[in-house]
Every structure is written in structure tokens, then in C-alpha cells.
């Protein structure tokens, strides 16, 4: 069994509106050694919708709203511990790439002692039409009911502006803005450019396993 660590977990956060490309970038980073991608939305989507928690997820996400903080953080911690126990995520050598969590300042405060946040990648896309276009496309490709209707899409963007964007101010000393309207490969290049500057990355890069 992997060891649960009491030390804060080194983490890189990806923050951005729905459709900005957090998942696309997080998934690629998660394929690299020393990085572990955790998308909170994927954790929710993997729930059996017949369970109480699965039902809560459907209830909130189908309206474009956030699932209540305590439920979210509880589920997320259990999932992280599972990944540690099964050696998928190795907190002593991996940097957590968190996509979609924390999703508001309250969540950031709840998990503050649990994480050591090295940098916050802010994927910027001021064009709501472009975000909506990307969500509609994703709804078709990935069968995501929460991205399918114009009303839910617009609620998701509003929820981002009101609840998630304040994180940029909260983490202001650690935030790096990256233009998410560029090609995904260029966005990835910029993110990697930021990662290799981090001391936490440099230390891990020296570890031979
Ligand atoms: P995402 O895949 O990140 O766009 O998330 C899909 C949906 O899952 C969101 O619209 C929320 O309903 C829910 N969700 C994902 N992450 C969180 C979070 N950290 N806090 C609350 N709700 C979340």
C-alpha cells in the first residue's frame, strides 16, 4: 500500500473558465513523469449516479452550479488517498496538477493545509462566445450533459465569474496568466516554460527512481 503523507502535497493549480482548456492541458501534463493530474469534474463523473453523492452531482452540475464544498472536498480527499494507496499518485515525488479544484475561495481555505501551491496557471479567455463554442463541441464529443444547453453553459460561465474567478485575487502572488485562445500546443509550451522555472520542479527533476 502507498503511504499517506502528512506533509502538504506539492501542487500546481489550473484555473480558468469552463472551456478554457484546463482538462486538455492537465491531461497532457499528467502523462509526464513527476506529475499527477487530478480533474475534480472527472472524479464526480466517475460516480455511480444511483448513489446519494452521484445524485447530488447530477442535481448541481445539470444546472451549471457547484456541488457544495464539504461534499466536494470530502470526495476529493478520499480519491487522493485511494490514488496514494494504489501507488498511482506518489506524493513524495509527484507534483499534483489540480484542474477544477479549488473552485472557490472557501475550498481553497479548506484545503490550504493539505497543499503546497507552487503556481497557479490562469488560462484566460475573455471571449464568452468562444468558451460556449468549445463547450458545445465537447458536449457532443464527450457526451457531457452539463455542456449541452445554452442555459446551462451560460450559468456555468456566470458561476465561474462569481465564485471561481476570485481565486485569482486570492492567489495573486502565484498567478501566471496564459492566453487560452492560442493553439493548445502553444498554451502547453507556455505552461511548461513556467513549470521548469519552479524550484519544486528542479528539485524533483534531480530525483532518480
Ligand atoms: P468540470 O468538469 O470541472 O467542468 O466540472 C463539472 C461539474 O462538476 C461542475 O459544473 C460542478 O457542478 C462540479 N464540480 C467540479 N469540480 C467542482 C468543485 N471543485 N467544486 C464544486 N463542484 C465541482
Q: Which ligand 1 atom is at minimum distance from the Cα of 57?
A: 12
pLDDT score of 106 more than 90: yes
Question: In the numeric block, which cell numbers belong to residue 65?
Answer: 452550479
Query: For residue 68, which atom of ligand 1 is closest to its CA?
Result: 21
Q: What is the mean pLDDT of residues 113-138?
A: 94
Alpha helix stretches (DSSP H) within the chain? 22-30, 40-45, 52-61, 69-85, 105-110, 128-142, 150-159, 166-170, 184-195, 199-206
pLDDT score for 7:
87
Give nearest CA residue, ligand 1 atom 11.
66
Average pLDDT on 58-73 reads 96
In this prediction, residue 181 carries a pLDDT of 96
110 lines ligand 1 (CB under 6 A): no
Looking at residue 176, its pLDDT comes to 98
Question: How many angstroms is it from 100 CA to the middle of ligand 1?
Answer: 6
Enter the pTM of the model: 0.94
What is the DSSP code (8-state) at residue 3?
A: P
% of the chain exceeding 70 in pLDDT: 98
Q: Of all protein residues, whose CA lies closest to atom 5 belonging to ligand 1?
A: 41
Atom of ligand 1 nearest to the CA of 100: 3
| Closest to 28 measured CA to CA, from 193, 204, 185, 196 | 185
- Reported residue count of the chain is 209
- Among 7-11, 79-83, 144-148, 191-195, the range scoring the smallest mean pLDDT is 144-148
Of the chain, the end-to-end C-alpha distance in Å amounts to 18
Q: Average of pLDDT values for 20-40?
A: 96
Q: In which residue are the cell numbers 499517506 written?
A: 4
Q: How far is the CA of 13 from the centre of ligand 1 (A)?
A: 15
Determine the atom of ligand 1 nearest the C-alpha atom of 18: 4
Cα of 165 vs centre of ligand 1, distance in Å, is 14
Q: Is 111 in the pocket of ligand 1 (CB under 6 A)?
A: no
Residue nearest to ligand 1 atom 1, measured at CA: 41
Q: How far is CA 185 from CA 7, 36, 101, 181, in A?
A: 34, 19, 23, 11
Residue of the CA atom closest to atom 3 of ligand 1: 41
Please check whether the domain covering 9-203 is classified as CATH 3.40.50.300: yes
C-alpha span between 162 and 90 (Å, rounded): 34
Q: What is the pLDDT of residue 3?
A: 62
* pLDDT, position 139: 84
CA angle 45, 46, 47 (to 5 degrees): 90
What's residue 2's pLDDT?
A: 65
pLDDT in tens, 136-194: 988 888 777 777 789 999 999 999 999 999 999 999 999 999 999 999 999 999 999 99
pLDDT, average across residues 11-22 = 97
Amino acid at each position: 500500500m502507498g503511504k499517506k503523507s502528512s506533509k502538504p502535497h506539492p501542487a500546481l493549480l489550473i484555473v480558468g473558465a469552463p472551456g478554457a482548456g484546463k482538462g486538455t492541458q492537465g491531461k497532457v501534463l499528467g502523462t509526464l513523469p513527476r506529475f499527477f493530474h487530478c480533474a475534480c469534474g472527472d472524479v464526480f463523473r466517475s460516480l455511480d449516479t444511483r448513489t446519494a453523492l452521484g445524485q447530488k452531482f447530477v442535481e448541481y452540475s445539470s444546472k451549471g452550479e457547484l456541488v457544495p464544498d464539504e461534499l466536494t472536498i470530502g470526495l476529493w480527499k478520499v480519491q487522493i488517498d485511494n490514488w496514494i494507496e494504489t501507488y498511482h499518485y506518489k506524493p513524495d515525488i509527484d507534483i499534483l496538477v489540480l484542474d477544477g479544484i479549488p473552485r472557490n475561495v472557501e475550498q481553497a481555505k479548506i484545503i490550504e493545509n493539505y497543499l503546497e501551491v507552487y503556481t497557479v496557471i490562469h488560462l484566460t479567455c475573455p471571449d464568452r462566445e468562444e468558451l460556449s463554442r468549445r463547450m458545445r463541441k465537447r458536449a457532443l464529443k464527450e457526451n457531457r450533459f452539463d455542456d449541452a444547453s445554452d442555459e446551462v453553459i451560460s450559468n456555468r460561465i456566470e458561476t465561474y465569474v462569481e465564485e471561481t474567478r476570485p481565486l485569482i485575487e486570492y492567489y495573486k502572488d502565484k498567478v501566471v496568466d496564459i492566453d487560452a485562445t492560442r493553439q493548445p500546443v502553444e498554451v502547453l509550451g507556455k505552461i511548461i516554460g513556467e513549470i521548469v522555472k519552479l524550484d519544486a520542479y528542479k528539485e524533483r527533476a534531480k530525483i532518480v527512481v
